[in-house]
């Protein structure tokens, strides 16, 4: 039995560190080497060594990461891509045809909405938005016989709404559709949607999985082997794959996900508590707060409540922008999930593409990706950034 088969039933941290790769048989290399090769020598025509033929189809550095992601998400197979959006597009092409319909969140990453609204729709895949926190609204948005995917984020980006994965899986399956969960905000450490009935997990591995803001990537993980075969076919046929250098960095990040997430959660809880008491803050949105409408569901399906905190600023958009610009330890920038704290204005930045749609976000909203710096420094920085409001 290989070593990585043996980690199959192990704890999360053991899987994150060991799954997907056994020390290299020739050198003993403990970490998957960066196989910077586009092609592979064949021993006679079709005589592939280990199934490797061409690096769009498969590359050992990528195989290791794909195996590790499948293991931490408790899925059967993982697939990695050049970005989260590349993963999403490949999934849609693997599962939908012109005339099909998808239910989307009414609060989601702006780029995901733009992909469906501006790209997939032009190829005949229509969409309807519904609140992921409202199972009846999702049921009502399903078009029987046409809806192929019910797509959720939980927590959502940027309003941190919570969808009940088990309940949504039941509604989705009743309609013969697949439940897709974008697990980017929770990370596989905090939540494993496939164990709650989801069919596909999507990640922007750019975020918590990579964890160091040094690489862009995406992933899909599935349970069903027929669906896996369809995705594998499209991954190769479309070719939006992650290269071996990016896979190496992403895999290195995955190994420390558990310890990083614990600190992200500790710091986010401290930051949320600080903001709650601040007179310049009109609302703090964090699923860990007992009065968050999704708190109880989140407490059931997540290990902890994550590193993302959103809040609304007294004085509207102008003051929200000013807070973002005054922050110093929090870096003003898009993205999330890295060790460093980031601050951004969703309305003008990550969610500019949803302006004027059902997904438009409040103009006074600020989103924090709370990093793993010293909590007191983060709080002092927000205090000075909010003082002039
Ligand atoms: O950026 P990319 O790796 O292509 O992933 C897209 C994506 C998908 N899903 C969620 C929930 C996301 O948050 C993202 C990317 N989000 C940002 C860049 C952001 O700042 O919100």
Distance from Cα 362 to the centre of ligand 1, integer Å: 19
Nearest ligand 1 atom to the CA of 108 is 11
Which residues have a Cβ under 8 Å from the Cβ of 182 and sit 6 or more positions away? Answer: 108, 109, 112, 151, 152, 153, 201, 202, 203, 204
- Mean pLDDT, residues 218-233: 98
CA 213 from chain centre, in angstroms, equals: 14
CA 12-182-239 angle, 5° bins: 95
For a ligand 1 pocket test, name from 80, 82, 83, 84 the mutation site with the most ligand atoms within 8 angstroms of its C-beta. Answer: 84
**Ligand 1 atom with the shortest distance to the CA of 351:** 21
> In the numeric block, which tokens belong to residue 71?
């293991």
206 ligand 1 Cβ < 6 A: yes
The arrangement of strands across the sheet holding 365-369 comes to 281-285, 308-313, 365-369, 342-344, 331-332
Catalytic center residues: 56, 109, 182, 207
Residues 54-93: pLDDT tens digits?
A: 999 999 999 999 999 999 999 999 999 999 999 999 999 9
The number of CA neighbours under 13 Å toward the Cβ of 101 is 14
DSSP string, 273-328: HHHHT-TTEEEEE-TTSTTSTTHHHHHHH-SS--SEEEEEETTHHHHHHHHHHH-S
Residue 206, SS3 per DSSP? coil
Outline where DSSP puts E strands in the chain. Answer: 77-81, 101-105, 126-130, 147-153, 178-182, 200-204, 218-222, 281-285, 308-313, 331-332, 342-344, 365-369
The DSSP string of 42-81 is: -SSTT--BTTB-BTTT--HHHHHHHHHHHHHTT-SEEEEE
Probe target for ligand 1 pocket from 109, 205, 306, 354, with the most ligand atoms within 8 Å of CB: 109
pLDDT of residue 106: 96
In CATH terms, the fold of domain 261-386 is: 3.90.1150
What is the separation, in whole angstroms, between the first and last Cα of the chain? 62
DSSP state of 353: G
> Ligand 1 centroid vs 279 CA: distance in angstroms?
31
Residue that the structure tokens 């975020």 belong to:
207
What is the rounded CA–CA span in Å between residue 304 and residue 293? 16
Whether 85 lines ligand 1, by a CB cut-off of 6 Å, is: yes
pLDDT at 1: 34
- Give buried/exposed letters for 201-230 (b at 16+ CB in 10 A, else e): bbbbbbbbbbbebebbbbbbbbbbeebbeb
- In whole angstroms, give the CA distance from residue 386 to residue 388: 6
Q: What is the rounded distance in angstroms from the CA atom of residue 313 to the CA atom of residue 337?
A: 23
What is the atom index within ligand 1 of the atom nearest the CA of 153?
Answer: 11
Residue 275 CA to residue 142 CA, distance in Å, equals 38
> What is the residue with the minimal CA distance to atom 18 of ligand 1?
335
Given this model, what pLDDT does residue 5 score?
47
The string over 39-60, giving b where at least 16 C-beta atoms fall within 10 Å of a residue's C-beta and e elsewhere, is ebeeeeeeeeeeebeebebbbb
Three-state DSSP at 222 gives: strand
CA of 84 to the centre of ligand 1 (A): 6
Three-state DSSP class for residue 351: coil
How many A from CA of 105 to the centre of ligand 1? 14
Kindly state the DSSP code that residue 361 receives in the 8-state scheme: P
Distance in angstroms (rounded) separating the CA atoms of residues 198 and 170: 9
Identify the DSSP state of 40: -
CA distance 311 to 287: 12
Annotated domain spans of the chain? 3-255, 261-386
Instruction: Write down the pTM of the prediction.
Output: 0.97
Residues 290-339 have pLDDT tens digits of 999 999 999 999 999 999 999 999 999 999 999 999 999 999 999 999 99
Q: Is residue 216 within 6 Å of ligand 1 at its C-beta?
A: yes
pLDDT digits (tens, 9 = 90+) for 272-295: 999 999 999 999 999 999 999 999
Q: Any idea which architecture 3-255 has in CATH?
A: 3-Layer(aba) Sandwich (3.40)
Largest CA distance in the chain: 73
State the pLDDT at residue 206.
98
pLDDT of amino acid 155: 98
CA 335 to ligand 1 centroid distance, Å: 7
Predicted pLDDT at 244: 98
């Amino acid at each position: 039995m290989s070593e990585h088969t043996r980690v199959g039933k192990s704890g999360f941290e053991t899987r994150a560190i060991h799954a997907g790769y056994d020390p290299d048989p020739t050198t003993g290399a403990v970490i998957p080497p960066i196989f910077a090769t586009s092609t592979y020598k064949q021993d006679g025509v079709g005589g592939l060594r280990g199934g490797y033929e061409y690096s769009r189809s498969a590359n050992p550095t990528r195989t290791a990461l794909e195996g590790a992601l499948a293991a931490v998400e408790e899925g059967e197979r993982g697939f990695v891509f050049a970005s989260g959006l590349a993963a999403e597009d490949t999934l849609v092409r693997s599962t939908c045809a012109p005339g099909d319909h998808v239910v989307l969140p009414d609060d989601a990453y702006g780029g995901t909405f733009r992909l469906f609204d501006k790209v997939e729709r032009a190829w005949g895949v229509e969409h309807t938005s519904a609140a992921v926190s409202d199972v009846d609204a999702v049921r009502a948005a399903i078009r029987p016989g046409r809806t192929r995917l019910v797509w959720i984020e939980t927590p959502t980006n940027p309003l941190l709404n919570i969808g009940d994965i088990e309940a949504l899986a039941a509604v989705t399956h009743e309609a013969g559709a697949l439940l897709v969960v974008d697990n980017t905000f929770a990370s596989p450490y905090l939540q494993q949607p496939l164990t709650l009935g989801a069919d596909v997990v999507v990640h922007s591995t750019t975020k918590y999985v990579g964890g160091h803001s040094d690489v862009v990537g995406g992933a899909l993980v599935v349970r069903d082997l027929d669906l896996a075969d369809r995705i594998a076919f499209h991954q190769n046929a479309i070719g939006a794959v992650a290269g071996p250098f990016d896979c190496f960095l992403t895999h290195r990040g995955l190994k420390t996900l558990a310890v990083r997430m614990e600190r992200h959660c500790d710091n986010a809880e401290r930051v949320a508590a600080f903001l709650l008491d601040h007179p310049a803050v009109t609302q703090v949105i964090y699923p860990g707060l007992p009065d968050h409408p999704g708190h109880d569901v989140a407490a059931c399906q997540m290990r902890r409540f994550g590193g993302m905190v959103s809040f609304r600023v007294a004085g509207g958009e102008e003051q929200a922008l000013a807070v973002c610009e005054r922050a110093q330890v929090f870096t003003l920038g898009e993205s999330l999930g890295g060790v460093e704290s980031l601050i951004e204005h969703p309305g003008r930045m990550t969610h500019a593409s949803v302006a004027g749609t059902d997904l438009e976000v409040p103009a006074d909203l600020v989103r924090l990706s709370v990093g793993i710096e010293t909590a007191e420094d983060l709080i002092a920085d927000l205090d000075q950034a909010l003082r002039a409001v």
